[in-house]
Structure 1
Amino acid sequence: MVSICKRQCFFAFILILGTWAYEVASRELQEPSMSARHEQWMATYGKVYADAADKERRFEIFKDNVEYIESFNTAGKKPYKLSVNKFADLTNEELKVARKGYRRPLQTRPMKVTSFKYENVTAVPATMDWRKKGAVTPIKDQGQCGSCWAFSTVAATERINQLTTGKLVSLSEQELVDCDTQGEDQGCEGGLMEDGFDFIIKNHGITTDANYPYQAADGTCNSKKEASRIAKITGYESVPANSEAALLKAVANQPTSVSIDAGGSDFQFYSSGVFTGPCGTELDHGVTAVGYGETSDGTKYWLVKNSWGTSWGEEGYIRMQRDTEAEEGLFGIAMDSSHPTA
């Protein structure tokens, strides 16, 4: 009997040891697989690290992000998908520092009161996509510079210039970054779209991107390039706050600069579908609403142009849920929006 028990214990031990060895081997197989994915991802996006320690740290962040993305997509509980994009080796906090730049006004700052020419509009199209009307330039990339405010300002201005001249011309974000530095706007350190419009008005126009190309860095204002003014605006209007209905009237008539809370990993890795959150209302990113629509299942959305390149989102765009219960809208999209006037 004792001999039988010893044999059973021995076989149980062998079984446990084999199971443990299999799990260890599986983990070791997965680790090189993840490492290989990181190497492939680095090659795809041209990533180069300072040293081995930096690479190891970035790999750990990459691994955590990939696991989150795959877990999210597998769960399938949301109407949108995430992807392992060019931000996969960044923490969400690092992305906030590098890729945003909306400077929310201090509460003590007096807000400029403007008219809203679309206030009495009673009917708008069921859908709108300003890209299809030739009013939106291709997706741009702000790079490692908090200049989202400049891209949003320019995107809204490009439509006004097209309306005035009949030509869609890519305008210069770099001019705003370098030259609009006397007030709230501070180049790569952030700014406000309304202040960007103010600069264009006072400067009697803005030049083209071809003449004053984007550098993704703060620079000294080039007065010679700045002097070649191509597009002009006469003013700007703020859309009544906390009203998606008012924002709908504005976007139905022209692309509109909007401020959103772009925090959270889901926004960082958004790939496709109608984004429904999670989200907040701590506005930190300037983008441009260039349309709206409704999916086949009846989900209403805003069509928003971002400035993170075409590899992010739906070729640079995001569809965000519209007509939510919150008066400020998803991400606070209805809290602070504005557009230039011809």
Structure 2
Amino acid sequence: MALATLILAVLVTISGAHGVLADDGDAAAAADVAMASRHEEWMAKHGKTYKDEEEKARRLEVFRANAKLIDSFNAAADKEGDGGHRLATNKFADLTDDEFRAARTGLLQRSPPLSSGAGGGGFLYENFSLDAVPQSLDWRAMGAVTGVKDQGSCGCCWAFSAVAAVEGLTKIRTGRLVSLSEQELVDCDVRGMDQGCEGGLMDTAFQYITRRGGLSAESSYPYRGIDGSCRSSSSASVSAASIRGFQDVPANNEAALMAAVSRQPVSVAVHGGGYVFRFYDRGVLGGAGCGTELDHAVTAVGYGTASDGTGYWLMKNSWGASWGEGGYVRIRRGVGREGACGIAKMASYPV
């Protein structure tokens, strides 16, 4: 009797285990179907197509990995009641890390630091009192920022950052807001460190604009998103804005950065290749997950304080208006010596 009871117990256990395995398999299959459906919806939203089913299957796996990472981050933030930022499966969700960095970043490192050129050395706002700085500022509200642009699959964030800073200074100095040409920098500023879609630096872009005597309007030298032949000497390329040079903001000094941003939009280097920046959707980005290894360039166009009291920098990006908060990101102020995402390490502005 005891043996029969034992056999029955074993059979029940085995049957139960099979039931658990079956349930697990059903759950996994349902999750796969849900993710495939989510990918289809994402493709429709972003107008994505693939050359064949093999490519689609490969992109689905990349999408799956990115979506799980995003969902995990948001779930943890929600559980902790984190008032910071949230991520989204945006238009970059089917790209690998390497593909994304190659197409959407493009900042090169400088060593040693460049000369400030015709603008003179030093820091123009060195003696500027922060007591006179407004508690919040948004250069968009003052008409000094053009609409959000999209660099596409060209690693020329450096050109967009520099151009936005020059556009802002031109508006402040002349009262005219003119959309300037990033493509001219991509095509023509290639004799030194800057190499078009292969990367560059804002300071060398400022040097090019200074040497040339100005930069064309976007309307006369439109953006194409690929490396091309320089047309700067043609009649179609007439300078629409000029600068005398540039200056660097003292490194690792957010007070100095605030002094500069309070007077004009400023080019800023950040760590943009990480997933928390890449998939940023809303809120104030900062803290864990955003490193300080500089690989991307944006433009500081203001600063302020969120409803929960968190101070932030307002940054214009060049990944289109569908990314982040209408093409902008708010990055936490006052986070360590180098700043959140490295924002205090390497900033500069035209003069």
Per the TM superposition, whether the score is higher than 0.5 is yes
Structure 2 counterpart of 1:96, one-letter code:
R
Instruction: Report the secondary structure of 1:271's partner residue.
Output: strand
Structure 1 residue 7: deviation in Å? 3.6
Please report how far the alpha carbon of residue 143 of structure 1 lies from its aligned counterpart in structure 2 after TM superposition. Answer: 0.6
Matched, 1:117 2:124: yes
TM-superposed CA distance for 1:219, in Å, is: 0.5
Alignment of 1:258-337 (within 5 A): 258-277=268-287, 278-326=289-337, 328-337=338-347
**Using the alignment, how far apart are the partners of 2:146 and 2:267 within structure 1?**
14
TM-score with structure 2 setting the length: 0.92
**Where do residues 110-149 of structure 1 align in structure 2 (5 Å cutoff)?**
111-112=115-116, 114-122=121-129, 123-149=132-158
Question: For residue 213 of structure 1, what is the aligned residue in structure 2?
Answer: 222
SS, match of residue 32 in structure 1:
helix
Runs (5+) with no aligned partner, structure 1? none
Task: Report if aligned partners of 1:257, 1:289 keep a CA contact under 8 Å in 2.
Answer: yes
- Aligned-partner Cα distance in 1 for 2:251–2:270: 13
Following superposition of structure 1 onto structure 2, how do residues 15-30 of structure 1 map, counting pairs within 5 Å? Answer: 15-30=16-31
Q: Distance in 2 between matches of 1:193 and 1:218?
A: 17
The yes-or-no answer on 1:53 pairing with 2:54 is: yes
Aligned AA (2:214): G
Separation in 2, partners of 1:150, 1:5: 76
Judge conservation of contact 2:105–2:273 (CA < 8 Å) in 1. no
Counterpart for residue 203 of structure 2: 194
Q: Using the TM superposition, give the Cα deviation of residue 38 of structure 1 relative to its aligned residue in structure 2, in angstroms.
A: 0.9
Residue type at the aligned position of 2:240: I
Write the letter of the residue equivalent to 2:21.
W
Q: Secondary structure at the match of 2:239?
A: coil
Q: 1:159 to 1:225 in 2, by over 3 A?
A: farther
Residue 104 (structure 1) aligned to one of 85, 109, 119:
109
Give the superposition deviation at 1:153: 0.7
Instruction: Report the alpha carbon displacement of residue 226 of structure 1 after superposing the two structures with TM.
Output: 5.5
2:94 paired with 1:89: yes
TM score, norm. by length of structure 1: 0.94
Q: 1:177·1:218 contact (CA, 8 Å) conserved in 2?
A: yes
Match of 2:63 in 1: 62
SS at 2:216 equivalent: coil
Deviation per residue, 1:213-238 (Å, 9 max, x gap): 11111001123265311111122221
Give 1:158 shift: 0.6
2:114 and 2:215 mapped to 1: Cα distance?
Answer: 26
Between the two proteins, the alignment pairs up a number of residues equal to: 339
- Which amino acid counterpart does residue 240 of structure 1 have in structure 2? P
What is the CA RMSD across the aligned residues, in angstroms?
Answer: 1.7
Aligned equivalents of 1:9, 1:330: Cα separation in 2: 58
